[in-house]
Structures are given as C-alpha cells and as structure tokens.
Chains A and B, each alone.
Chain A
C-alpha cells in the first residue's frame, strides 16, 4: 500500500462549488504539506502543518483552507472553486526538516 494517498485522483467541478481534497499518510510523519503544480510554474506551496494544532499559510493560500483532522490526515478545501484553480494538487509529508514524500496527486478541473 502507498505511504501517502490522495482522494479523489481526478475531479471535475463547476465554478462556485465547494470541494475538498483529502490526504492520508501511514509514514508516521508530523509534517504535512499541500502544493499545486501548473505547467510552466512548477510546484508552489499552499499550506503546511507541523502538527494537528499548527497550520501555516504558504505562498499561494488565498482561496484555499485546510484542516488537520489527525496526525495522518490533512484536507484541502476550495470554498468556492474558480477556473484558475484548475491544476494538479499534491500532498507531501516529512519528518522534521527532512525529505518530503509526495502523494500521487489529484487532477482538479474547474469549469
């Protein structure tokens, strides 16, 4: 079984809809991250969490919110999706300030 899982893997939604992307990990890492990847722009950090009570904004947090339900679960929400949020979304985990391990990604399309 994969150490970092993301659901759904693909999602098509409409402008204005609320959507939640979920991430679960079995690596026992405290730190979890959400990134988006756009062609030509690379990976950009949306939010990160060092533990259940510690949530931090990344460089592109506007329009997104997160919830750390447990050490192993970190969810990303788009309260009112817009077309320029169409992207690949990745969750990652890390132990302390060390290597980040990425999930398989969610391809989100906002029409």
Chain B
C-alpha cells in the first residue's frame, strides 16, 4: 500500500531559525512528489513538483529536494508569515490515478 509520512507533526521556530521538514514515502512507482502550503480553513496552495531523485526547486525562503525515499522542504530564515501546515503528496504509477497525501507538518514561526 502506498504511504506518505511527514515529520515532525508540528514544529515551532523562532524567526530566522532555519530548519527542514521531512516527507518519506513508500510507493509502487513515483510519478511526482508535490508540496503544498495550507493556511487554516483554506485550500492547499501549490508550492513545488519534483519528479526525479536529485531534483531541487526553490521559491523565496523554501527549497524542496528529492531522494529515492524522501523529500525535504528546507526553510531558510523563516518569517512569521511562513506559519502554515505544509502538505506532501505523491502521484503513483500503480492503481488508480490519485494523489496520496501525508498528514502534514504544522509550522509556527514566532517573531
């Protein structure tokens, strides 16, 4: 069964304190890995798509990387406005066409 596990479940940082969020996956065949940001009561907002091991993508203070078993979302010098839940999802080759989501990491950045 395809599985996506995100850690930690929650993370508190001080403004400017860099850290990383982890997304590990066990799937029959990876077609793509997606990172989303979700604010409370709102829909997930697309951040990045990664397709193959070694790929990296950056956007402002965020950088996503991918290996054969996991992905990291690195947050450099975060600001309070980066506070949100970050969701990881994988698109698999086997079975029905669907995104398998992790449960998310809730990030809080204190000023």
Residues of A with Cβ closer than 8 Å to B? 4, 40-45, 48, 56, 58-59, 88, 90, 97-105, 107
Taking a contact as CB atoms under 8 Å apart, the answer to whether A42 and B102 are in contact is yes
Residue of A nearest to B104 (CB): A42
**Contact at B45–A45, with CB atoms within 8 Å?**
no
Closest to B9 in A: A40
Complex interface: chain B residues within 8 A of A98 (CB): 32, 49
How distant is B59 from chain A, measured CB to nearest CB, in Å? 14
**Smallest CB-CB A-B distances: 5 pairs:** A102-B43, A42-B103, A43-B101, A102-B44, A42-B101
> Are the CB atoms of A41 and B43 closer together than 8 Å?
no
CB under 8 Å from chain A, chain B span 38-76: 41-46, 49
| Bound-state Cα–Cα, A59 to B101, Å | 12
Question: What separation, in Å, do the CA atoms of A99 and B35 have in the docked complex?
Answer: 10
Contact B87 A43 (CB under 8 A): yes
Partner-binding segment picked from B10-18, B19-27, B92-100: B92-100
Interface of B is mostly: strand
Q: Which residues from chain A contact B46 at a C-beta distance below 8 Å?
A: 99-102
Are the CB atoms of A48 and B43 closer together than 8 Å? no
- Report chain A residues within 8 Å CB of B42: 104-105
CB contacts (< 8 Å) of B99 on chain A: these are 43, 45, 100
B101 to chain A, nearest CB (A): 4
Q: In the docked arrangement, what's the CA distance between A99 and B99, Å? A: 10
Residue of A nearest to B44 (CB): A102
Contacts of B44 in A (CB 8 A): 43, 90, 102
The residues of B that contact A100 with a CB separation of less than 8 Å are 34, 46, 99
Return B55 CB to nearest CB of chain A, in Å.
15
A45 contacts B98, C-beta separation under 8 Å? yes
Interface centre among A4, A41, A45 (most CB of B within 10 A): A45
A45, B95: Cα distance in complex, Å: 14
What are 21 inter-chain pairs, A to B, with CB distance below 8 A? A4-B43, A42-B87, A42-B101, A42-B103, A43-B44, A43-B87, A45-B99, A48-B97, A48-B98, A56-B96, A58-B98, A90-B43, A90-B44, A97-B91, A98-B32, A98-B49, A99-B34, A101-B46, A102-B36, A102-B43, A103-B43
